[in-house]
Amino acid sequence: MRLQETDQGQLRRKDRGMRAWQSGQAAEDAVARLYERTGHTVAARRWRKGGGELDLVFRTGDTVVFTEVKKSRDFASAAASLSERQILRLRMGAAAFLATEPKGELTECRFDVALVNAHGEIHIHENAF
């Protein structure tokens, strides 16, 4: 009997994890569409290298835009979920990405944070850090 309860609990956790992943993916898709409508081109999605992970990378003119997407029930909670450790990983990932660019670290770039609330509304904070 105890095993069944544990199995059910694990299934519920897996379901929650899958829903959270799908929700995050949907938020990234919505943010990508918003950037594309404003003339940005998607250069990469969920790019990983150099110890970092980048949710979305865009190009606009000569500028590379690294965008971290945070989704939560409200904008304040989404913003609060961005930690210093994550910012460090973003910077490491950005450095690895820029190493693949012709101008390397001399490439014009910025870091944006896209906050998505439970209603799907999006707030973009350009040059967030």
Fold adopted by 2-125: Trna Endonuclease; Chain: A, domain 1 (3.40.1350)
User: For residue 9, what is the enclosing H or E element?
Assistant: helix 2-37
Stated pTM of the model: 0.85
**Model confidence over 107-127: pLDDT tens digits?**
999 999 999 999 999 999 999
**Model confidence over 70-87: pLDDT tens digits?**
999 999 999 999 999 999
The Cα–Cα gap between 8 and 5 comes to: 5
Residues in the chain: 129
Q: For residue 104, what are the contacts with CB-CB under 8 A and spacing of at least 6?
A: 98
Helices (H) and strands (E) in the chain, counts: 3, 5
